[in-house]
Amino acid sequence: MKNLAKFVFLIMLLPAAALAEGGDDDSTWNNTLKTQFFAGKTIEESDAVIELEAPYRAEDPAIVPVKVTSKMPQGKDKYIKKIWVLVDKNPFPFVGEFEFFPESGKADLAMRVRVNTYSNIRAIAETNDGKLTMSKKFVKASGGCSAPVGADLDEAMKRLGKVKFRLDDGMKPGQPTEAQLMISHPNLTGMQMDQMTRYVRKSHFIDQLKVTFNDKPVLNAKIDIAISADPNFRFYFIPDKPGELKAEFSDISCESPVSRKVCDKGASYSQQYAVTP
């Protein structure tokens, strides 16, 4: 009897499992995220303002490269003001809120994110006239031995706070130029199994990032645990004269991985880079 019961139970589980694997699913967005982030707003789904690129198969769910490409220049009168990035099916879907300026030159943004399971990733842009446009991609985070945590935690801890900038070789003065900002930080998700360990239980991640060039804003970001360990961003700025590209950021530690109600502010960091166009 016991075996029979087990067999029936297995049969009942199968269709559910098959559904869970099946594709493109907007339920979390429609039921929760849209109201949570954009209550009462109209969002046009189109790739006309920004286009999100992401691999269909995430090779390593801990490091999924995603890129937002803007389809319009950052003009004084018309520009992309903000871009939100969300991973629908992550335990904490909010990846980040990125603020751009006319001085950014171009509201392109590349970064690496954690993707917990098969999910839509979406980027929503707000232009300075208040209009919202959304671009999305479906990503299959592969299974097996992969978990969306970093591979070598201690190495990441050792380097914590180290910062690197990399710039395009062919920098043209006054033209939008791509810069890469690399921050060494384990960006702990805080999703450990409590009962098994006395180790770190809290999340510990970078929550605020501000990039300026000669004190003029280039990129402001509010980010969260879905950003991969060793956060890595590529964005644009305009090197109109020699000067200083500066990144300031801070980290935070929260009691729960899925709530931001109880958190302790951590350290602040700052790093400059001399630019000679």
The H-assigned helical ranges of the chain are 2-21, 27-28, 34-38, 153-158
Do 268 and 244 contact (CB within 8 A), yes or no? no
As a three-state string, the secondary structure of 30-76 is HHHHHHHHHCCCCEEECCCCEEEECCCEECCCCCEEEEEEECCCCCC
Residue in 171, 182, 258, 263 binding another protein, rule: CB under 8 A: 182
Please tell me the distance from the alpha carbon of residue 142 to that of residue 89, in angstroms, as a whole number. 14
Least separation in angstroms between CB 38 and another protein: 29
Q: How far apart are the first and last CA of the chain?
A: 78
Chosen residue from 153, 157, 171, 263 binding another protein by CB under 8 A = 153
Q: Which listed residue (4, 5, 12, 17) binds another protein by CB under 8 A?
A: 17
Binds another protein (CB under 8 A): choice among 81, 106, 112, 204: 112
Taking CB under 8 A as the criterion, the residue among 96, 102, 148, 231 binding another protein is: 148
Residue number with CB closer to another protein (65 or 217): 65
Residue 195 near another protein by CB under 8 A: yes
Q: Cβ of residue 149: shortest distance to another protein, in angstroms?
A: 5
Mark residues 70-109: x for contact with another protein by CB under 8 A, - for none. ----------------------------------------
Amino acid at 215: D
